[in-house]
Structure 1
Amino acid sequence: MADLPEAAGRLAAVPLALLARASGGRPMHPRGVVLTARLHRTGLPRPSGVAWLDEPGTDDVLVRLSRGAGLPPRWPDLLGFALRAPGERPVDLLLSSSGRGRWTRRLPVLRRDPATTYGSMMGYRGPAGPVLLAAHPHGPGVFGLAATVGSGPEQPFARVVLGERPPQAPPLHFDAVLHPPPGLVADGPMARFRRPAYTAARAALGEPLDAVRPPVR
């Protein structure tokens, strides 16, 4: 039987590649601002078996706050919270404005104010089962990161303190499927939908397609 999410992703890859060429690499979330930030990982209270979630650490990161459709600020839009932890193997988190409840945090919600809750529409899988990530506003310029592991409750594991706009923002093309946190693998229908779309966008920009992981099932 055909994999419907992956097939849909292949269909969407064609217009997304065209948009990527036309927009210089951003078929979605064309309007945004890149900020320096500090990621303070305190670790999950209940270990998940994923060191990046469980162990404390501090990283200099970049955060891009964006509007999904690029609508004027006075209009609601699907807002984006993207985080890049640089390194030999970077970590990319892509979160979208979502509901705040237990059953609505995976549902996209249009909002105006970027100081809102962001959830991962795409899930991950780790040693302890499915993992969902979220970011919650914790005051001006501060977001808390939380993870839901398996059927357990949401638990905080990090804090992101936003900084200033860098003098020259580097070009950032986030790929949450190719660059998950170490110890996690992009999983589920949304991952299978996104994989061909991301591949098409990278190909449209002439970026290397090596190191692409096997299809997620």
Structure 2
Amino acid sequence: MTVTPPPSRSAGRVATAVERASSALGRLRRGRLLHPAGRSFVGETVIWGTPGPPSGVALLDQPGRYRTTVRLSKGTPTPGSWPDVLGLALRLHHDDGRPFDLLVSSSGAAPGLRNLPLPRRRFTGTYSTITCYRAGRRRLWLAVLADPDSVDLGRSLATAVAATRTDTPRLVLAVASAVGPWRLVGQVSLGAQLSAEEDAALAFDPVRNLPPELRVAGPLAWLRDQTYRGSRRARGATAQSGGSTATTV
């Protein structure tokens, strides 16, 4: 997948500088530069298909079932249940190709709030991609929403882990246009927690690990690409590092 650099003659030098700065900060932190505090789980995603007009992305439009790795995280991170920009990362594994990495952050559900990362206390809520995708000429936003019939994930990473030990928490995958309502396309289930070593090894690439019809749009995509490259470089990880090989939930 090609990521378009910002419109500048010195784009190459800027990209190198951003990646090196991200790598240096990652080494100072001795771990992930972004969302360092988190817990990872075995999961499963069931795609029901897109209701109404198709999105143009086969993975979302066609029913399917995917082994999934799920990571819940705190952005800063703040202590315990203090408000923070919460993160949810999904890796949908394909047996015959590149995985689909979806990273979403706590946000509002309304159109005007989908682009804004919003701090909150609870892990059960709305998470959106913040930046949009393009599928052909369509602009799309993806989100993970609370399932009202599921057990609550609570206010901390500890309560989220506890929920997976006694139940199977579920979240809902959704797609929307810039101003349209969320259309529910699937369900994500969380199972057993992965070890701390597996969590540390896991590395996502939300810009390049995408279905062939989908690409990240806008200048933030370029910045995100360089930042994640630098963070992975500092940890000695790759865009395909980690992920659950356990049985799905």
TM-score scaled by length of structure 1: 0.85
Does residue 164 of structure 1 match 2:171?
A: no
Identity over aligned pairs, percent: 35
Does residue 177 of structure 1 match 2:207?
A: yes
Q: Secondary structure at the match of 2:68?
A: strand
Structure 1 counterpart of 2:108, one-letter code:
G
Q: Distance in 1 between matches of 2:118 and 2:11?
A: 21
User: CA separation of 1:169/1:200 partners in 2, compared to 1, >3 Å: closer, same or farther?
Assistant: closer
The Cα RMSD (Å) is: 2.6
Question: Which residue among 66, 72, 90 is the counterpart of 1:59?
Answer: 66
Q: Which runs of 5+ in 1 are unaligned?
A: 210-217
Q: Which runs of 5+ in 2 are unaligned?
A: 1-6, 152-168, 240-249
Does residue 86 of structure 1 match 2:114?
A: no
Q: Secondary structure at the match of 1:110?
A: coil
Structure 2 counterpart of 1:154, one-letter code:
W
Matches within 5 A, 1:1-217: 2=8, 12-45=18-51, 46-87=53-94, 88-138=97-147, 139-140=150-151, 141-149=169-177, 152-167=180-195, 169=198, 171-207=201-237
Bigger fraction of residues in strand: 1
- Which deviates the most, 58-67 or 17-26? 17-26
Q: Is the 8 A contact 1:25 1:173 kept in 2?
A: no
Q: How much has 1:180 moved relative to structure 2?
A: 1.8
Aligned length: 209
TM-score scaled by length of structure 2: 0.75
Q: Distance in 1 between matches of 2:127 and 2:42?
A: 19
Q: Secondary structure at the match of 1:48?
A: coil
Q: Is the 8 A contact 1:65 1:82 kept in 2?
A: yes
Bigger fraction of residues in helix: 2
Q: How much has 1:152 moved relative to structure 2?
A: 4.1
